[in-house]
Amino acid sequence: MSPSSSAASSSRPPFQTMPAPPSAATGAPAEISAARWQAILDDLAGRGVTTVALTIDVAERVTWPSSALGCPSPGKSYTQALTEGMRVVVVAGDRHFDYRFGRGDSPKLCER
């Protein structure tokens, strides 16, 4: 490599990747609509979870950095756009269920 080509390549800053920004939770409690609550109950029932003694641990408004709703699945592509939504964490016994919503009423269970 000649000295001039080395100087030209070193004058350009190196390429860097940045992590996705965290979700922007408002911290303020959000009201869960009847449709969203029913969707959560239906999902839990489908998983065999008794829905009699549930506790809501978190219900907050969130602006997600992408359509992955803060919980991407490996190998899947997502729209990289701010997505208004909600996070609801429900406790059933000693288990926590972290549900994510975008603009619609269909929940996504975030299993990590």
| Tally of domains in the chain | 1
Residue 15 lies in a domain: no
pTM of this prediction? Answer: 0.74
pLDDT, tens only, 28-67:
578 999 999 999 999 999 999 988 889 999 999 999 999 9
Residue 26 lies in a domain: yes
Residue 67 lies in a domain: yes
| Residue 27 confidence (pLDDT) | 55
What does the DSSP assignment read for 63-85? EESSTTTT-PPTT-----S-EEE
Q: Could you give the percent of the chain with pLDDT greater than 70?
A: 75
- 65, 20 contact by CB (below 8 A): yes
Residue 49 lies in a domain: yes
Residue 40: phi and psi, rounded to 5, are -65, -45
Radius of gyration of the chain (CA): 21
Q: How far apart are CA 68 and CA 102, in angstroms?
A: 9
Across the range 4-22, mean pLDDT stands at 50
Boundaries of domain holding 29: 20-110
